[in-house]
């Protein structure tokens, strides 16, 4: 029951967040030639690829790849930019988030190693 009530709110918030991220990246690349509404429209129409998530085993991969293709073509057409810049605007947030996640995993592993090293030093000090 909670999903029925809060689901549309979360989907709408996610669409606005994704469109905001894409629009900021387009702006940073100097490619935001139209307003936020055009970017939001591309993201909203491109969200239709979520229907592939119902496919077992390959739905996530197909949806991800096709979502990148649809977003790239949509942003290129909506903002009147080249497909390379549109692809960069789509992939840059993914690359940055993957790098941040990898850095966090590295920090956690380094922290665990530091704690283990400290524990072994205190054991030998006794």
Give, as one character, the DSSP assignment of residue 55. Answer: S
Q: Which of 68, 84, 86 is nearest to 76 (CA)?
A: 86
Our measurement of the distance from residue 72's CA atom to the centroid of its chain's CA atoms, rounded to an integer in Å, reads: 14
Q: What is the pTM of this model?
A: 0.81
pLDDT of residue 123 exceeding 70, the answer is: no
At 46-66, the pLDDT tens digits run 999 988 888 888 999 999 999
pLDDT of residue 40: 97
Confidence label for 3 from pLDDT (cuts 50, 70 and 90): confident
Question: Could you tell me the two tokens for 114?
Answer: 């530091």
Q: Alpha-carbon distance 9 to 35, whole Å?
A: 23
């Amino acid at each position: 029951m909670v999903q029925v009530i809060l689901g549309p709110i979360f989907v709408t918030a996610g669409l606005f967040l994704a469109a905001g991220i894409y629009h900021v990246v387009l702006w940073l690349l100097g490619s935001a030639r139209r307003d936020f509404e055009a970017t939001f429209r591309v993201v909203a129409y491109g969200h239709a690829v979520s229907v592939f998530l119902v496919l077992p085993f390959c739905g996530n991969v197909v949806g991800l790849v096709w979502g990148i293709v649809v977003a790239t073509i949509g942003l290129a057409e909506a903002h009147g930019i080249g497909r390379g810049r549109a692809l960069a605007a789509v992939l840059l947030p993914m690359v940055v988030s993957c790098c941040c996640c990898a850095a966090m995993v590295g920090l956690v592993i380094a922290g665990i190693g530091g704690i283990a090293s400290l524990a072994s030093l205190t054991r030998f000090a006794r």
